[in-house]
Structure 1
Amino acid sequence: MLKKLFGKAEVSIEAVIKSPVSGKYVDLTDIPDPTFSEKMMGDGFAVEPEEGKIVSPVNGKIVQIFPTKQAIGIKSEEGLDILIHIGLETISLKGTDFQVYVNEGDKVEAGDSLIEFSLDEVLQEAECAVTPVVFTEDSQVGKMVHEKVSDLIAGNTEVMTIMVKT
């Protein structure tokens, strides 16, 4: 899609975002943490996980793995910056019970395993296990279309389509 803006052509590329974890869809505004619910980090969605396995929601590249292993950053092949954050207040777990299968700079495809974690441990030790998926650069995000889904399967269920501004 092309649009003229101050004499320059603005191009948008469609990115399909799949669920990174199996579970129930949660609207970002329903998360009990204002950093996410008020979209301070960006827009997106969340999942109440039913298992402790995170997969890539897109084809792209790993750009950041947090030292505490509870969050990972991906740049989609369309250029969209995505943050997946496992649970709320999980930084206190200090990476215990998190197994990371990728490294910064690795290329990944939708459905590739990224992180496994103990869901029981997160449920016991953290505020909650809800996993936000946030598009951290507002300037990249154009039109967002949410699919009407509630039960999500990791790497399979298409949750939304985003027109990524390039």
Structure 2
Amino acid sequence: MGFLNNLFGNKEKNVSETPAAKSIICEPNTIYSPLKGTVIPLAEVSDPVFAEEVMGPGVGIEPEEGKLYAPVEGEIITVFPTGHAIGMKTADGMEVLLHIGIDTVQLEGDGFQAFVKQGDHVKAGELLVEFDCAKIKDKGYQTTTMVLVPNAALLGNMSKPHTGKVEVLEQIFNFQ
């Protein structure tokens, strides 16, 4: 099932979505913001694995609240057992990796609640994970959330990403 399925393991679905989710029409090979917050270039993320695009190109987002929504319509192909990372795949084959925080795997799921499991089909804007920003920070971790496309080499050229303040489901980048 691709890179993300091999990387992560498997995982209840409580469908909750943003009001904007009802009206969004997803463009092919386009990533929408899964968070309300501030988008930063991936090169500015403090973890070199992400900053050097080892896991694929994308952006980092400094979240304003602990709710991660689907940035695309597609299938959940992986839910990391700790709830801090989710992999998705769109109908046109784009893979998306959402990784909440830096080194947050060390929290072993404390502060994370996933609402989806492998095999679920979600629409852009559906709630995927709730996470406790204060708890993550209190334990000494960053909440910077990465939005990555591991199979970007198959999709063409990535547009210059939107940076700065962003609302859930605002377009942040695409491939052409």
* TM-score under structure 2 length normalisation: 0.81
Is the 1:53–1:115 contact (alpha carbons within 8 Å) kept by the matching residues of 2?
yes
- Measured after TM superposition, the shift of residue 14 of structure 1 is 3.5
Deviation at 1:126, TM superposition (A): 4.1
User: Partners of 1:146 and 1:18 in 2: how far apart?
Assistant: 14
State how far apart, in whole Å, the 1-side matches of 2:92 and 2:140 are: 33
For 2:29 and 2:123, the matched residues in 1 are separated by 13
What secondary structure sits across from 1:87 in the alignment?
A: strand
**Mapped pair 1:159 → 2:172:** yes
* CA offset digits 1:8-39 (Å, max 9, x no partner): xxxxx942210011100110000011100011
Cross-structure match for 2:7? none
2:27 is the counterpart of 1:27: no
Give the TM-score normalised by the residue count of structure 1: 0.85
Kindly tell me: are residues 30 and 107 of structure 1, through their superposed partners in 2, closer, same or farther at Cα, counting changes over 3 Å? same
Computing the radius of gyration from Cα coordinates, the structure with the larger value is 1
Q: What aligned pairs does 1:67-86 form with structure 2 within 5 A after superposition?
A: 67-86=81-100
Cα shift readout 1:107-165 (whole Å, capped 9, x = no counterpart): 011100000010101112243110011111243231111354411112x21101113xx
> Equivalences for 1:60-71 in 2 at 5 Å?
60-71=74-85
CA RMSD of aligned residues (A): 1.4
- Counterpart residue type for residue 54 of structure 1: L
Q: 1:55 aligns with which of 69, 75, 99?
A: 69
Residues 132/138 of structure 1: CA separation in 2 closer, same or farther (3 Å cut): same
Gaps of 5+ in 2: 1-26
Instruction: Please state which structure has a larger fraction of its residues in strand.
Output: 1
> How far apart, CA to CA, are the structure 2 residues paired with 1:51 and 1:109?
20
What percent of counterpart residues are identical?
A: 35
Q: Tell me the distance in 2 between the aligned counterparts of 1:48 and 1:56.
A: 16
Q: Is 1:114–2:128 an aligned residue pair?
A: yes
State the one-letter code of the partner of 1:159.
I
Return closer, same or farther for 1:148/1:68 CA change in 2, 3 Å cut-off: closer
Tell me if structure 2 keeps the 8 A contact 1:47–1:132: yes
Q: Secondary structure at the match of 1:86?
A: strand
- 2:158 equivalent to 1:144: yes
- For the Cα contact (< 8 Å) 2:99–2:147, is it kept in 1? yes
SS at match of 2:153: helix
How far apart are the structure 2 equivalents of 1:102 and 1:84? Answer: 13
Q: Is the 8 A contact 1:87 1:126 kept in 2?
A: no
SS of the residue 1:35 aligns to? helix
2: CA distance between counterparts of 1:135 and 1:126?
27
- What is the total number of aligned residue pairs between the two structures? 150
